[in-house]
Each structure stands twice: as C-alpha cells, then as structure tokens.
Structure 1
C-alpha cells in the first residue's frame, strides 16, 4: 500500500511539474498576404526587385544561392525581366549584375583555379570558399543555401517572414547561449536553458543575428525601408527564386483547365447527339 501511494504521488508531481519542463515548440508563423499566392497569383516585379537588393546587400554576405543563375533574373516574371530582351543572356541589367561578381574557373593551360568575371550563365557564387570557412565565420553555424528555402520549410513564405521579424528579448528566466538569439518562431527546445517557473517559452535559438533593421537598405523606387517591408520584399524574392517558373506554371494550369472544361462540354454534347435516338 505504501509503495502504491508513492507511485501515485510521483505521477501527481510529474503531472503538476510537467508543463514547466516540456518543450512548447515554435510559435505559429505570422500570416501575411502575398501577391504570388493562389492559382492566379503572380509576382510583383517591383517587390521582387527590392527583395533582390535586400538579398544582395544583407543576406549574400553569409548565404549562398547556388541553384540560381544570373540569367534567371532576366527571365519572364523575374525581377529584371524586360520584354525587349526575350533572351535573358542579352539583358544589359543582368550582364551588369554578373560583372560585379568574381567566380572560380580553371586555367586551361595550367589547371589552376583562377578567378574571372562572372557571366549571365554563371550561378551565384558562395560567399565562402568551403563549409569550414563558412562555419568559422559564423561561430560554428553553417548558413543555409537560400535557393529553395521557401520550398524547404512548411509554410515557407510565412515561416521565413516570421523568423526575420520575430527576434525579441528572451523571457525572464531563459538563459540564451553565447552567439545565439531567441526567436519564438524558431523550432527548437529551450527547456534545458529555462530557469524560470511555469511553462517553457515557445520557440528556440538561432545563430543568425537579427539581419534587418529600418533603413538598412535604400530602395530605388522610394518605398519606405522599414524592417517589415524589407522582410516581405526579400521573402518575395526568395519565393520567386525557389520557383522562377511559378507564374508560367500557373498560367499553363489555368489554360489547361479551361481546355479540359471545353473538351468535356464537347464530349457531353457529342454523347447527347449520338445517343439521342437510341432507346435505353
């Protein structure tokens, strides 16, 4: 009887103390509206241009986009598409952007690695020579490639937008490790670092310092450069980069559905005409 009582008491304590030690998980992402959402959505070219500038001036210092070529920027629905240049390799703005980069190449005579000016056919170069260099420059953390980041995360656009705008001071009792930052939208388990009472705070730690702040980037079109605006614009750019053909795919899908509806109507009319005088 005594043993049974001790067991019940232990379960009771665990039930009461449980919420203070259980991981609460990340906070649900903030919900923002995007022009590219839905079957008829498409990218706002001005917004994607601003997003590219945020990536270029802020994100590119640490994050690569190894699956994106410079010429993609000049493709239809891209940030610098111009219908005067159907071939994006001929787009002067794309050429100008590529010339600002140096990429690795192989000397055909010596076989040595050399640097040359990028062309529109090249992919965006990594800011670091290798993974070890990337980790050494970021306190041991490896900055992820952003080429398909929006596709790689559940609720991709909302998730990245929430992370970028969600940095805040840690709740009382939460000890943040060195070179880490608290973000309630970041997946993780902070229970081991929580010394307070009550429920464990939601969210987790992230090695990336808050990358955006008001007026950090100046937009050429005069748009006010708030932190929220920068976050929305760079997310739009990353969404486009994750699927540059998204708008064309949607347009094809709508056209295909219209064709199938018309075809189905014709089949129904044909069926009625063929079998109208036949007894069933």
Structure 2
C-alpha cells in the first residue's frame, strides 16, 4: 500500500506528471515535490517518482535517469505502467507514449529526427493546456486530495488506466468471435473483418475490432469491417482505415439498408442474413 508519492521539485514534465497521475488512480494519496531521503527510498509505502536514481518496483522507486545512455528510451511513466502490468498495451494503444519516452530521454532534437519532422514542427504541437497544468503542478511543493490539480491528475490517471484495460478487454472479447472474410474473385478478392451479434453485446465492438485488425497485422489487407449495430438490430458496415476500395453510398437503394453516408464510408443495415450482407459488400466495392 502506497501512503505517499514523492517526485522531484522544479520544472514538471509529462512523464513525471503522468506517472504520478497513474499512481493516483490506485493510491489516492498526497504528492510531495522534493528530494527523497535514503529512508524514504527504502520504504515501499512511499513511491518515489522520476528521482532517486533507483528503479525498484518492490520498493516503488520509479526513476530512469540511471539507465545507460544507449538504452532504449524509457521514462518514469513507462516504469509505473509496467508495474501496473499494462505497459505493452499502453505502448500499443497510446501512440503518444513512445514519443514521450523519446522526448524525455533524447530531447526535442533527436525526437524530431526520429519522427522525421523539423524541430520547429514539434513546437507547433505544444498545447497551452499542458503548459498551464504542468506549471501549476510545479509551483507547489505539495498536492492533496480535493485540490484542483490533484483532482485533475487523478482523473487523467484513472481515464488512462481505464482506457488501456478496457480496450484490451474488448479486444479479447472480439478475438473470441471475429472472422476474416475473403470475398470476390481470386484476382480481385478483398478481406472483411466481421464480428457477429453476441449476448451480451460487446461494448464499442467496432473500436475493438479495428484494433484487432491492427494486432493481427492485417491493416494493409482488410478494407472494411462489419459489426453489430449499437443502435438497433442489424449491422454496421464501415471502411477500414478509410479504404478507397469501398463506397457504401452505392447501397442507398437497398431495401434493408436504412442509412448510408453520402461520403460512402459507412452504412447501416437491418439485415442479419450473412450471405446477403456479403452480397451487399460486393455491391459496395468501387
């Protein structure tokens, strides 16, 4: 049980802010911004974040500054997420995480090179929200429950953990039922990702299916997804990664299709007959 969180004084950065926020999601305790003592580093009930030159999860010490200079980029947030058992999923689902690791370890110049952009482009992505919140976090030596910044941090940490955990749960549910269809003639075949109706229904099934396609390494092959309609009986049909292969507006005159977007990226059908849905998909091909 963690009773206190200690992080470094001075300027605050995304990694220490978010590492503390994630810890707050499970341990809603006070945050102290100061150097830790040797006794505190040896106390597993005190989490020491981004300071102390120790990484020891058993003692809840989460610093990365002692790592070898040529080691893979990591940060305090990475270490906390790993302790929560969700680091690999967070890195897969949160595209900003690896950039945060690079920025904290390598600085803006090398991070810009790694991303393939100019350093000035990085500055254009700065948000006044980040600046204000980080400054407010840095200005005080102690943050406690009920105070605005502490409450915002807990909310952010809780949302981040919930997003990662729940997305993995949905993907695991989708994996039990998913099918990959291959439709059309051999030289012009197309792959469709499909999930049938289930009881109970899978929450945000289309989002879970989209991530599963990526996890299966089929993002270059799948052109559309078919999944239970969250608003009623039947199925939704949607382009995958906005594939130019499909134009669902071509189904606007189909009697069992009650919605098509005029941009052609989505359609809704009340039809539950799989063979008929496959026929519709072939009709929607450009």
TM-score range, shorter chain: under 0.3
Query: Which structure has the greater CA radius of gyration?
Result: 1
Indicate the structure whose relative CO is greater, using CA pairs within 8 Å and at least 6 residues apart: 1
TM-score under structure 2 length normalisation = 0.24
TM-score, with structure 1 as normaliser: 0.25
